[in-house]
């Protein structure tokens, strides 16, 4: 059976990335050794790291005022590492809380300085994005989550502010053209649009670094910059899968093409959702995520029936996050439009039978 992978992350990757990753486990670039058994200080892996860092800059269209790092861990690590590196104990940072990940980020930041929530959408279960809020003029940075994987909301425009922007882009990085140079720091766990779990990408503008706090060596961005992301043994295979994925993005037409495909998938999905009485969207129309669509069945008791149908039809990952329930369809870069077509067809059938 052809599977349709709507997992929220780890999630679908392009077929050719899988093939190349598997081939490199057998023999990396014809050297007679596996990617899993080469030293990280060999020129073989050095070339992987150099190309990966360079491709991030190329795809994002950013220059040398930014540095690209590949670090262990995921966004949860960055919730701690960002304020550790940027926020001194007597300084203030502004946080936007649009959902479960933003809430976690601000909680960690409070361990390091004066982290304040300047905008929260908790009043309506994070079903929208509040775009009007004020930021203290002395804020060291404004932290927000560009796409809320769990709740299904997304910032479709960058917030306008003079305060340095710090963004968790874990679930929509490389999904659209964006003025990435506007950000002081971007981080993303790789396991949605960029590869396999186990590596973080961090893009940081060098001039915001230089805190006085004593930082553990492995957490200090400056050490990683100086070492070219080879301060310690990096997650070699995960970096390689990220490289393969970025090569694929570039070859397919870069972020312009990714943005076009994301819109096609989202239009098909949400137009169908809007038209069907058996389903209810969870998010207000203008803030709906192009990556993660959250919704419910109109009758709560029908949710399991629909999930059963998904399973029968090889559609995985449709159950909502355990913290919010309901249903969720994730539509990352590698998801073909045909998978969205398949689930919207199923939704139509279901609606006709059960509405």
**Residue 99 interacts with a copy of itself (CB under 8 A): yes or no:** no
Stretch that binds a copy of itself, among 136-144, 171-179, 217-225, 271-279 (CB under 8 A): 217-225
Stretch that binds a copy of itself, among 76-84, 86-94, 156-164, 253-261 (CB under 8 A): 76-84
**Residue 39 interacts with a copy of itself (CB under 8 A): yes or no:** yes
**Residue 227 interacts with a copy of itself (CB under 8 A): yes or no:** no
Choose, from 97, 140, 155, 192, the residue flagged as catalytic: 192
List phi, psi (to 5°) of 336. Answer: -70, 150
Of 73, 228, 281, 325, the one binding a copy of itself (CB under 8 A) is 73
Q: Which is nearer to a copy of itself, 164 or 235 (CB)?
A: 235
- Is 191 part of any known ligand binding site? yes
**Residue 3 interacts with a copy of itself (CB under 8 A): yes or no:** yes
Of 128, 174, 180, 237, the one binding a copy of itself (CB under 8 A) is 237
Task: Map tokens 């609606």 to a residue.
Answer: 351
**Residue 314 interacts with a copy of itself (CB under 8 A): yes or no:** yes
Stretch that binds a copy of itself, among 18-26, 202-210, 251-259, 283-291 (CB under 8 A): 18-26
**Residue 137 interacts with a copy of itself (CB under 8 A): yes or no:** no
Structure tokens at 173: 């990085």
Q: Which is nearer to a copy of itself, 152 or 198 (CB)?
A: 198
Of 231, 268, 298, 342, the one binding a copy of itself (CB under 8 A) is 231
Q: Is 192 a catalytic residue?
A: yes
**Residue 26 interacts with a copy of itself (CB under 8 A): yes or no:** yes
Q: Is 349 a catalytic residue?
A: no
Q: Is 15 a catalytic residue?
A: no
Of 104, 222, 247, 348, the one binding a copy of itself (CB under 8 A) is 104
Within 10 A of 18 (CB to CB), how many other CB atoms are there?
A: 15
**Residue 11 interacts with a copy of itself (CB under 8 A): yes or no:** yes
- Three-state SS for the chain is CCCEECCCCCCCCCHHHHHHHHHHHHCCCCCCCCHHHCCCCCHHHHHHHHHHHHHHHHHHCCCCCEEEEEEECCHHHHHHHHHHHHCCCCCEEEEEECCHHHHHHHHHHCCCCEEEEEEECHHHCCCCCCCCCCCCCCCCCEEEECEECCCCEECCCCCCCCCCEEEECCCCCCCCCCCHHHEEEEEEECCCCCCCCCEEEEEEEHHHCCCCCCCCHHHCHHHHHHCCCCCCCCCHHHHHHHHHHHHHHHHHCHHHHHHHHHHHHHHHHHHHHHHCCCEEECCCHHHECCCEEEEEECCHHHHHHHHHHHHHCCEECCECCCCCCCEEEECCCCCCHHHHHHHHHHHHHHHHHHC
**Residue 43 interacts with a copy of itself (CB under 8 A): yes or no:** no
Residues recognised as catalytic: 101, 168, 192
Query: Residue numbers of the site for a copy of itself (CB under 8 A)?
Result: 1-3, 5, 7-13, 18-19, 21-23, 25-26, 32-34, 36-41, 72-77, 79-80, 104, 107-108, 111, 189, 191, 195-199, 214, 216-219, 231-238, 241, 314, 316-317, 322
């Amino acid at each position: 059976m052809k599977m349709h992978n709507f997992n929220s992350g780890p999630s679908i990757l392009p077929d050719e990335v899988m093939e190349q990753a598997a081939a490199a486990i057998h023999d990396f670039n014809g050297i007679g050794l596996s990617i899993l058994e080469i030293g990280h200080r060999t020129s073989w892996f050095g070339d992987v790291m150099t190309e990966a860092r360079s491709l991030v800059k190329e795809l994002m269209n950013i220059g040398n005022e930014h540095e690209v790092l590949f670090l262990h861990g995921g966004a949860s690590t960055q919730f701690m590492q960002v304020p550790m590196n940027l926020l001194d104990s007597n300084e203030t940072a502004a946080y936007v809380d649009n959902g479960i990940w933003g809430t976690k980020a601000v909680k960690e930041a409070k361990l390091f300085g004066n982290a304040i929530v300047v905008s929260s959408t908790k009043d309506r279960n994070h079903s929208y994005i509040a775009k009007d809020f004020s930021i203290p003029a002395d804020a060291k940075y404004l932290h927000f989550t560009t796409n809320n994987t769990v709740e299904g909301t997304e910032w479709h425009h960058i917030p306008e502010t003079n305060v340095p922007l710090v963004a968790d882009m874990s679930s929509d990085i490389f999904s659209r053209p964006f003025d990435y140079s506007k950000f002081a720091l971007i981080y993303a766990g790789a396991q949605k649009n960029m590869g396999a779990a186990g590596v973080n990408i961090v893009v940081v503008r060098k001039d915001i670094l230089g805190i006085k706090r004593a930082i553990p060596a492995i957490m200090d961005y400056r050490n990683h910059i100086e070492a070219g992301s080879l301060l310690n043994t990096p997650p070699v295979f995960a970096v390689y899968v990220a490289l393969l994925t970025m090569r694929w993005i570039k070859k397919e037409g870069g972020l312009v093409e990714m943005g076009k495909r994301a819109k096609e998938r989202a239009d098909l999905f949400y137009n169908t959702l809007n038209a069907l009485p058996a389903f209810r969207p969870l998010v207000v129309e203008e803030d709906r995520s192009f990556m993660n669509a959250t919704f419910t069945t109109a009758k709560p008791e029908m949710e399991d029936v629909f999930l059963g149908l998904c399973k029968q039809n090889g559609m995985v990952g449709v159950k909502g996050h355990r913290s919010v329930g309901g249903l969720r369809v994730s539509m990352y870069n590698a998801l073909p439009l045909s998978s969205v077509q398949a689930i919207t067809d199923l939704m139509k059938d279901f609606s006709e039978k059960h509405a």
